[in-house]
Structure 1
Amino acid sequence: MSDKPLDYLNSWEHVEELRETLTTRVNGRIHSLNDVWERSYNKAVPERVIDKDAYANPHEAFMVMIEKGIYPPPEIMIAIHSCFKAYAMTGNQAELEHYFFGPKRKSVGNHAASVMHDFNIEDFHLWLAGEGDLQEIKRDGLVQKKIEEYLDMRGLYDTDVKTFLTACRRWRKRTGRYSVLNSDQGDN
């Protein structure tokens, strides 16, 4: 591991190696995670197919799966565990963020905060889509009320509604992804 960067533990390459180990070799206690997963969850999803294009890294896949109530495959959980374990074993010589996302890049700031920021906005859109007719919500000027409800539900009490709405608009521009806020009309 020493010749690999710290964030290798949170890479898809590492997950593939873990999957190979779990599915081909018996590995004591860790292998029992695979046995449990195959007996319970694998019946619903027989293939261990994770769309790597949908997630930047195993940490993001883990976060989204847990939020959606999906039991992550053991290789994802072990990869996350490996990051925490490596961090603890080195006596905290590097920041935990380094193990998950690599070295800090200038002008980007805290990568973990940025990831969670985008995650909250995407999660808001998914939640809002489940709240009913989006056009009706916009037409009735309920977007800000829905943002308040979402922020309260997620415990994001320090986040201002207008700030979150602005962040949603910036996210939409930056990512080009669909948003219920595609026009500025009806964002009341």
Structure 2
Amino acid sequence: MKTLQAGLQFLRSQFMQRQPPRVRKKPPRRRYRSPYPVSRMAINAPPQPMTSQSQPPLSLELQSSVRVLQQRTREGWKRLEYQASHINQLSTELEAALLELKAIASQVNTDWRTLQKVQHSSTQAIISNVCEYQITKLPLVQYKPSGAFLLTSRSVDLFKAEREAIRLAQVLRRRNRRKRLKH
């Protein structure tokens, strides 16, 4: 940073020695508007200290390096947004795969127990469950109101479907009882 500031001061001093200071009207600045939902601040050159004389325009090299930096930053934001979206998509796919694993394990459990009963196998230890479950969390990238990204996690409820099925069965049984009582 100090090297950059020293370079800027050197360029200013060289430019001031060659030409008398000119006063120019600045054209209105155009702000970059991102097509993405995350708000961003415009990226500008660092503010320069004011002196009694008018400041010379930035050198062409400095202007081009600022443009390159702005372009790289815009491209970086796009890549960052894409990667955040990709992580969230993978997280959703992983949740579906976990639920499928649970369904397969449930079917294998049922078949295994039936097989053990049919074979009357006392020599083999009966496995109560072929899969055990603990609280599972998946990564999630959220957007903060400031425009920053927040890498966090979310819990996966592997037993939600069973609870909903039990609740639905209870509702249907109650309806069936009410119909029988009315007739």
Q: Same fold (TM over 0.5)?
A: no
Task: Tell me which interval the TM-score lies in, with the shorter structure as reference length.
Answer: under 0.3
Q: Which has the higher strand share?
A: 2
Q: Relative contact order (C-alpha < 8 Å, sep 6+): which is higher?
A: 1
